[in-house]
Amino acid sequence: MARSGIIGGVVAALVIAGAVLGVVLVWRPAIAAIDPPSPQSFAPELVKRGRELAALGNCNDCHTVRGGKNFAGGLPVPTPFGTIFSTNITPDAETGIGRWSEGAFRRAMRLGVDRQGRHLYPTFPYDHFTNVTDEDDRALYAYLMTREPVVAAARPNQLRFPFNQRVVIAGWKLLFLHRETYHPDATKSAEWNRGAYLVEGLAHCGACHTPRNALGAERTKVAFSGGEADDWSAYAINTKSPAPVAWDADALDFYLRNGWHPDHGTARGPMAQVVKNLAAVPASDVHAIAVYMADVFGVPHAARDRAAVVAEARSGVGRAPDSEGAAIFAAACASCHDSGRPPPYGGINLALSSAPSAPDPRNLVNIVLAGVRPVEGERSPIMPGFAGTMNDQQIAVLVNYLRSRFTSQPPWGGFEKTIEEARRTQTAYLTTSAAPTSAPASATQRDKP
């Protein structure tokens, strides 16, 4: 009896210790609400810097639903675990972050915890934002607190059990949240280090361009080796890049400023919004990103001399000219892509584009279906979409032809489902309107992440 009593006491002590440890790991205190600060309380130069940083972080793209007010949230973010909706980060006192202090804002950026002490889902990329300095967090806070307040209650996430329990996120952080992982490299230039700070922090490029594990965390050992974003492939942007011609700093700088480059192609999908936001960023920061990323790219394994790539395409790498794919290409594509006119007034030489050379056809299918819309008021590429004029079989035939004619890569196979999903996604995008976001929030909805 005495021995069993001792064992029972030890077990009870372990259970209690485990429970206490669990509370310590999970629990975070609420930070007191404040009266919303006056916009005039922030220095104009601080707000300006915050606007540039918000553009670098692409904040508006994630926190603005199509057709909605800027930063009012509501954007659905699909994940393997369900759908998470972005939240209102305008300074509305009831449904936004108007009652958040700067300290509460910084905690969310660094630790992924909201003002009320709730763990935030890592679709908000605080695993990158932990690298952002206090000064930049302060500027971001100033910018957001001077935006138009919008009454927009948080939409409930649609996650399956157990991922709908925020306690799970505490465990995820123990495994994957590593604070202050960016450290300047004294052997590199100041510009390289500036680019590294932006890419690894606020710009969070790896969030899209790095593959993820089964728990949704970035596989940091293969950083920048390619990922997925909004039904698009985020290409590898290291030595595994599918680019036929190697990227250098000048090409990256031009691409990030203009959204296209004659030797590489056009920014589409989520990358198009990134480029749009970078127009509001100082040129020095964009060039620093280009310098750092050119070093990360190195010389891709598949990259070759530009002249050799073009010559190979002209020599007829692809199928016989009388094939069905060649006939579709001649009717729908050749007038631009075989015209010899350089972009943006002519189509890019597809032998130089990453899309036909990529490991899967998803991006090429998306572009053929949706086309390329011009940027209003700018000299930019344009291409019609063929979703309404080609059926799925014709799209497949054309895409296979582009792969065989303009690359020496093996053919893609069995991508009919890719075409179906791309067409369905495009239809949903064109027909879906913004959900109502003006309803008053209940007490439990306020300050939601």
pLDDT score of 372 more than 70:
yes
pLDDT score of 15 more than 60:
no
pLDDT at 347: 85
Mean pLDDT of 52-70: 94
pLDDT at 432: 46
Mean pLDDT of the chain: 86
Mean pLDDT of 97-122: 96
CA-nearest of 308, 318, 292, 268 to 426 is 268
pLDDT at 413: 83
pLDDT at 317: 54
pLDDT at 130: 95
Res. 321 pLDDT band, cuts 50 70 90: low
Res. 275 pLDDT band, cuts 50 70 90: very high
| φ, ψ for residue 218, nearest 5 deg | -65, 140
Res. 306 pLDDT band, cuts 50 70 90: confident
pLDDT score of 277 more than 50:
yes
Ordered by where they begin, the domains of the chain are: 26-176 (no CATH), 201-304 (no CATH), 315-434 (1.10.760.10)
pLDDT at 299: 75
Least confident of 20-24, 53-57, 161-165, 277-281: 20-24
Mean pLDDT of 209-226: 96
Least confident of 50-64, 216-230, 303-317, 318-332: 303-317
Mean pLDDT of 276-285: 96
Tens of pLDDT, residue by residue over 397-419, are 999 999 988 888 889 988 889 99
CA 70, CA 88: separation in Å to the nearest integer?
A: 9
* CB neighbours of residue 20 within 10 Å: 10
Share of the chain above pLDDT 70, in %: 85
pLDDT score of 74 more than 90:
yes
pLDDT at 438: 35
pLDDT at 348: 86
pLDDT score of 60 more than 90:
yes
SS (H, E, C) the chain: CHHHHHHHHHHHHHHHHHHHHHHHHHCCCCCCCCCCCCHHHCCHHHHHHHHHHHHHCCHHHHCECCCCCCCCECCEEEECCEEEECCCCCCCCCCCCCCCCHHHHHHHHHHCECCCCCECCCCCCHHHHCCCCHHHHHHHHHHHHCCCCCCCCCCCCEECCCCCCCHHHHHHHHHHCCCCCCCCCCCCCHHHHHHHHHHHCCCCCHHHHCCECCCCCECHHHCCCCEEECCEEECCCCCCCCCCCCCCHHHHHHHHHHCEECCCEECCCHHHHHHHHHCCCCHHHHHHHHHHHHHHHCCCCCCCCHHHHHHHHHCCCCCCCCCHHHHHHHHHCHHHHCCCCCCCCCCCCCCCCHHHHCCCCHHHHHHHHHCECCCCCCCCCCECCCCCCCCHHHHHHHHHHHHHHHCCCCCCCCCHHHHHHHHHHHHHHHHCCCCCCCCCCCCCCCCCC
Tens of pLDDT, residue by residue over 327-363, are 999 999 999 988 778 777 788 889 899 999 999 999 9
The pTM of this model reads 0.86
- The dihedral sign for the CA sequence 13, 17, 19, 20: positive
pLDDT score of 436 more than 90:
no
Tens of pLDDT, residue by residue over 150-159, are 999 999 999 9
Check if the beta carbon of residue 260 is closer than 8 Å to that of residue 266: yes
